[in-house]
Amino acid sequence: MPFPGVNVNVTNGNLLKEINAADCVPGLLVTVKTPSLVAKVLKVYSLADAEKSGITQQAEPFAHALLDEYYTELGGTKLLYIMGTDPDMTMETALKSTEANGIMKLIRAAGGDITMVAIAREASSTYSAGTAFLDKDVQAAVTVAKATGEALQKANTPVRFLIEGIVANETAENDFEPNTATNGFACVVLGGTNTDGHASVGLALARAAKYGSHVKLGAGSNGSLTATQMYIGGTPLEEFAGLETLHDVGFLTFMTRPGAAGYYFGRDNTCSNDDFRILAHGRVIDRAQRIAAQAYLPFIEEPVKMAKDGSIEPADANQREATLDLAIRTKMSEQISDCEVVVPIKQDVINTSTVQTKVKILPLGYGTWIEVLLGLAASL
């Protein structure tokens, strides 16, 4: 039998098919060249902190550039957990829950507090990325990230992933559609500030870290990104044919907006087509899960008053409902539309030693597409 504890099961498939306070604790897995930085977890609050730890422009140009973008976009100081990976380690390997020097080492070093992880890789010169549009490592990383995300969710330490969409062959036609990968834990970021095919996951991580879980990365009120030029591979974003198609198949891409200067994120697509097809939904449910797990800690191994028919006494059920309802509403009042907490009294707690609670979160709606009916009139 497992240890006593709180088990929160996240359900899927509940939304209509049609259609924090900054609370992100960010983490970063990034390729480094310095042996002493490989598999070492750093806690930094600024680019200067990272430089003091050895991630300088001279020693680690790839990681330094990513952090420069991150902190420039963030516009301030904030805790960031960083772990360096070897150039020979693929993103797929780094995201495996069984890899000793991968994602789980970073998560454990932060005591399970990390809620969002970006991963970027600069491969060694001997690595072959393949001949497809995307580096073959990208799709492989998406696949393993699902199992890791499920494991972390089961442990009540849910994490979402921002995977670098590395362009390997710009002239090839894309053959990967992220929204068919059934992995709502991960996003594939496509587009970067340089012409080397790398993607600016640091910009996405900064937007997530700067605003609450309910705020979409492309929220118009937060203005344009700090990046002054974006590329897909070596082509300027504005000149890349098929950008909207890539966005529509589930990549987290950058875009320009008519009448507005600068660059923005498009819809915050994940690698799924279910309830968690947008990153904001996943981040909100993750926050609710962590709140639920914490709120119910005092109830572990506590007695439950039973009625004569073997059901839970309504007063006991009501107490548990009120505790979690208050916790969610207090901490997430601006992040959700409403919530409902129900402890069914018809439960066989005596024989199962399990008290089930059903929680429904009504998320916010988002104006991703705005329709204006405009025309001339003979009179008003």
327 neighbors 287 (Cβ within 8 angstroms):
no
Burial of 124-159, coded b for 16+ CB within 10 Å and e otherwise, reads: eeeeebeebbbbbbbbebbbbbbebbebbbeebbbb
Q: What is the pLDDT of residues 216-259, one digit of tens each?
A: 999 999 999 999 999 999 999 999 999 999 999 999 999 999 98
For the range 313-319, what are the long-range contacts, defined as Cβ-Cβ under 8 Å and sequence gap of 24 or more? 313/345, 314/345, 317/343, 317/344, 317/345, 318/343
pLDDT surpassing 50 at residue 17:
no
Per-residue pLDDT tens for 109-160? 999 999 999 999 999 989 999 999 999 999 999 999 999 999 999 999 999 9
- Would you report the helix, strand and coil content of the chain in percent, each value rounded to 5? 30, 15, 50
d(CA 219, CA 221): 6
Amino acid at residue number 242 = G
DSSP β-bridge partners for residue 271: 183
- H/E stretch holding 68 reads helix 61-74
User: 316 is written with which tokens?
Assistant: 């006991």
Please write the tens of the pLDDT for every residue from 97-106.
Answer: 999 999 999 9
